[in-house]
């Protein structure tokens, strides 16, 4: 496959088309080498990457959709420990026990399974690509720390407010568009936030009725009172309790 064919193949992929993502930083030779030795994959909801698949292809770049890192407990309960979205690079090399979790699609997902050898060569020679990867891994680490704090200490409404800001921060900046996509189903969001699905729905409804946001679609919101939502996300009990009282709501203390 020549350079023109490679670019034509990659031009519809967000990891190449979006100028701030990984493949957009590669020169023609690097892009050809990575494309020749990597594999694309389309997954449907419930499909997983684990075991031998991750052993052979431990570096995954998400072009579209959401992958979850799920852990299954002995009694059959599951928990979603992390969400990976468009543009994320997941590097699972040298993980001592991959059986602790599996990457499971939460809808239609398109991804590239990158050649570890070519990836490492690019990382050693291309500072722009290296910068993108380090920033992505840093952001993943910060999100994991924030999420652990949310799960441990925050109430239901605070958890949801934090997640809405997470989606807002991750969404591409589209001019004149203030709608935030919620890229996962509410049942999956409940697993991620450590809540019951009905609690997630009640929280969305409460934020709407308090005129903090509106939901034009089930999978999207538009924030109408950013300062108040920020106060709730940051754990401001006055915002949670007093403002709720003004609108006649009881505080949701349990998940």
At 141 the pLDDT is 93
Angular region, 215: left φ>0, alpha ψ -120 to 50, beta rest: beta
- For residue 1, what is the DSSP state? -
DSSP for residue 151:
H
Cα distance between residue 130 and residue 89, in whole Å: 12
Residues 192 and 184: beta-carbon distance below 8 Å: yes
pLDDT digits (tens, 9 = 90+) for 127-149: 999 999 999 999 999 999 999 99
Q: What is the pTM of this model?
A: 0.84
- Rounded Cα distance between 55 and 179, Å, is 39
pLDDT-based confidence at 16, cuts 50/70/90?
Answer: confident
Q: Are 140 and 91 contacting, i.e. CB atoms less than 8 angstroms apart?
A: no
Asked if 3-148 and 154-246 have one fold, the answer is no
Q: Span 96-110, mean pLDDT?
A: 79
38-65: per-residue pLDDT in tens? 999 999 999 998 766 777 889 999 999 9
Round to whole Å and give the CA distance between 76 and 117: 37
Q: φ and ψ at 12, to 5 degrees?
A: -85, -5
CATH 2.60.120.10 is the classification of domain 3-148: yes
The pLDDT of residue 240: 65
**What value does the mean pLDDT take over residues 100-122?**
91
- In the chain, where are the structural domains located? 3-148, 154-246
Under CATH, what is the fold of the domain 154-246?
Answer: Arc Repressor Mutant, subunit A (1.10.10)
Residues 182-185: contacts with CB under 8 Å, at least 24 apart:
182/219, 182/220, 182/221, 183/65, 183/66, 183/85, 183/106, 183/107, 183/219, 184/66, 184/68, 184/83, 184/106, 184/107, 185/106, 185/107
CA distance 227 to 210: 13
């Amino acid at each position: 496959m020549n350079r023109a064919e490679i670019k034509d193949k990659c031009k519809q992929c967000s990891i190449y088309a979006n100028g701030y993502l990984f493949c957009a930083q590669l020169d023609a030779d690097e892009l050809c080498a990575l494309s020749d030795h990597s594999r694309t994959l389309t997954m449907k909801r419930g499909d997983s990457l684990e075991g031998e698949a991750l052993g052979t292809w431990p570096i995954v770049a998400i072009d579209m959709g959401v992958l979850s890192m799920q852990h299954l407990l002995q009694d059959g309960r599951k928990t979603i420990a992390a969400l990976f979205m468009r543009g994320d690079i997941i590097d699972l090399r040298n993980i001592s026990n991959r059986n602790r979790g599996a990457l499971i699609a939460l809808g239609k997902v398109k991804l590239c399974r990158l050649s570890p050898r070519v990836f490492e060569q690019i990382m050693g020679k291309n500072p722009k690509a290296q910068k993108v990867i380090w920033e992505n891994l840093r952001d993943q680490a910060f999100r994991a720390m924030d999420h652990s704090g949310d799960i441990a200490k925050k109430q239901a409404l605070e958890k949801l407010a934090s997640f809405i800001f997470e989606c807002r921060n991750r969404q591409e900046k589209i001019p004149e568009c203030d709608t935030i996509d919620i890229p996962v189903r509410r049942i999956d969001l409940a697993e991620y936030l450590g809540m019951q699905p009905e609690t997630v729905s009640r929280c969305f409804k409460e934020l709407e009725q308090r005129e903090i946001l509106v939901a034009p679609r089930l999978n999207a919101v538009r924030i109408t009172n950013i300062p108040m939502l920020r106060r709730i996300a940051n754990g401001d009990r006055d915002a949670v309790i007093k403002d709720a009282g003004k609108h006649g709501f009881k505080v949701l203390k349990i998940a």
